[in-house]
Amino acid sequence: MNSNSDNNFAGNGSASGGDRKVRPDTDGRDGKGRFAAGNVGRPSGSKNRTTAIARALLLEEGPELVKKGIDLAKGGDVQLLKFFLDRLLPKERLIQLDLPALDFADDAIDAMAAVTDAITNGHITTSEGAALTSMICGYSRTLEVAELSRRIDELEACLEPGDQQ
């Protein structure tokens, strides 16, 4: 056995693991370093110690750091300017588009035509058009399912055993 066998912890012994020692159970883990049964680790919602320290520092120095960042951005730091604008400007814009009422699934055809027209005329972007198209398709499918369900209920009502002649 080597001279520092008393210092061998899990993973530092021989390849066969025959003479390796495991660290003592001080944090709710078993001999192999895994959490013991019933111990899931850190409680849900608890913060990492490093995160708590960073948060405390930021609370103290935050306003000064933001002011310094704004000064640097105004002074020509393009990356910092982009950083601030990415966080200050909304990711999506509010669009206004006149769509026909979607009372029936067939009305989706006219709504899709209106979206296509808005894209081709440059009133909305293609990604905004794709989002609207997805919403129209989903709403149209919902109307179709509701209509089919209503028709099935009517057919089943006609086939009730007491109503047959």
pLDDT tens, 14-35? 444 455 455 554 566 777 877 7
Give the count of domains, the chain.
2
Q: Please tell me whether residues 111 and 154 are part of one structural domain.
A: yes
Check: pTM over 0.75? Answer yes or no. no
Give dist(CA 80, CA 66) in Å, integer.
11
Instruction: Judge whether 123 lies within some domain.
Output: yes
**Domain boundaries, position 113:** 105-158
Q: Please tell me whether residues 84 and 117 are part of one structural domain.
A: no
- Nearest Cα residue to 27 out of 18, 36, 16: 36
Q: Please tell me whether residues 111 and 152 are part of one structural domain.
A: yes
Residue corresponding to tokens 């310094």: 68
Instruction: Judge whether 51 lies within some domain.
Output: no
Express each pLDDT in 49-80 by its tens digit: 888 888 887 888 888 888 888 898 889 989 98
Instruction: Judge whether 153 lies within some domain.
Output: yes
Q: Please tell me whether residues 82 and 124 are part of one structural domain.
A: no
Instruction: Judge whether 10 lies within some domain.
Output: no
Average pLDDT score over the chain: 80
> Which pLDDT does position 8 carry in this prediction?
42
Q: Please tell me whether residues 116 and 87 are part of one structural domain.
A: no
Please name the residue ranges forming H helices in 20-101: 49-74, 78-88
Contact in structure between 85 and 79 (CB atoms under 8 Å): no
Instruction: Judge whether 121 lies within some domain.
Output: yes
Q: Please tell me whether residues 112 and 87 are part of one structural domain.
A: no
Instruction: Judge whether 37 lies within some domain.
Output: no
Give dist(CA 78, CA 127) in Å, integer.
27
- Count of residues for the chain? 165
Query: Is the alpha carbon torsion for 100, 117, 108, 129 positive or negative?
Result: negative
Instruction: Judge whether 16 lies within some domain.
Output: no
Instruction: Judge whether 67 lies within some domain.
Output: yes
Give dist(CA 6, CA 8) in Å, integer.
6
Which H or E run includes 26?
A: none
